[in-house]
Amino acid sequence: MFKLSKKLQELPPYLFLEIDKAKRKARSQGRDIIDIGIGDPDQPTPKNIIDKLYQAAQDPATHKYALDQGMPVLRKAISDWYKQRFNLELNTDNEILPLIGSKEGIAHFPLAFLNPGDYSLVPDPCYPPYKGGTILAGGKPYLMPLLEANNFLPDLGKIPAGILKKAKILFINYPNNPTGRCAEKSFYQDVVRFAQKKRLIVVSDLAYSEMSYDGYRPPSFLEVEGAREVGIEFHSLSKTYNMTGWRVGWACGNPQLVAALAKVKSNIDSGIFSAIQIAAVEALTGPQDYVDKMRQLYQGRRDCLVNGLRSLGWQVEPPKATFYVWFRIPKKIDSIKFAGMLLEKADIVATPGVGFGKYGEGYIRMALTVSEDRIKEAIERLRKVF
């Protein structure tokens, strides 16, 4: 009856919606589902942040339209956080833009620079909005395979010259979702040189920088010399402070890139609810011991899951960061069928690798978003099936 636009028709089904449907159907049948599929923290937002939201929401001044560019106090808190964490000085006037979660900023960014027929260079497997935002902007995603043999880093030298002539944006994401792999400054230096030579905009997604283990601290792309000339970085409070539902993040970096995204957003939304912005300031400037506790919690879960899977004879590498365990499927079966088998035979929800792109086929992703007891239960269920 109503015909969808060509752009919408090009978009693949959003993986997590399909997983959620299957999960809800199984639960409606009274089954005890262990959900290690979607990366949504099971721990609550810290109380001091909730209390600050409650306090701010009582003030009628926060009930008005928010400033499109975010409250100055939030931009200052973001700048101070970047200085403390990465020793980077960010100009609060033109190098920081608060977002309604980093996802919307990433998805909207291609609208600022892509024309029909332009390419984005997109890692595969990847977080879906890199591809979706490109398609909705009228661009074309060129897939850069993330292969285990290359430690899940893209091989920039293998991108065809004809693609590079039409490419405008290069997406990178480390610590990486879904693979959990990390990149060091040497890789970022290569990316900067490549972007300068090929006149590319680099979009760095750093949402998982604070979820790291064994004393490892992931770097920021912007730490590398020349990065701010070619790039913009996205970050989020969602995973660091268990604020996925609050929808607050930011973009920072090159002033021209930040301004272009701000112009797109001024035509789409009216900013973040001011009370949430005030709570975000509390998250960034308040006690940070909670973040350390979460690292310890997830590291324990990581070790529990990795050791459990290895006890089944499966080859699994422990991630240095993120709360995902990504591993090759131990059977000759595609990832959707394998995930379906986990749900059908073991009442476990996991994410098929192909949902993140064709180069994710053959892998499965499990999230560390349930307790160690539930992880151990999941392992015992798998032991009975496999």
Tell me if 46 sits within 8 A of 285, measured CB to CB.
no
* Ordered domains of the chain (ranges, CATH): 6-44+289-385 (3.90.1150.10), 47-285 (3.40.640.10)
Q: What pLDDT digit, counting tens, does each position of 152-191 carry?
A: 999 999 999 999 999 999 999 999 999 999 999 999 999 9
Tell me if 236 sits within 8 A of 207, measured CB to CB.
yes
pLDDT for 386: 86
pLDDT for 24: 85
Q: What pLDDT digit, counting tens, does each position of 67-111 carry?
A: 889 999 999 999 999 999 999 999 999 999 999 999 999 999 999
> Two tokens at 14?
């959003």
With a pLDDT cut of 90, the percent of the chain lying above it is: 89
The pLDDT of residue 1 is above 90: no
Q: What pLDDT digit, counting tens, does each position of 352-375 carry?
A: 999 999 999 999 999 999 999 999
What is the pTM for the complete model shown?
A: 0.95
Distance, in Å, from the CA atom of 187 to the CA atom of 282, rounded to the nearest integer, reads 33
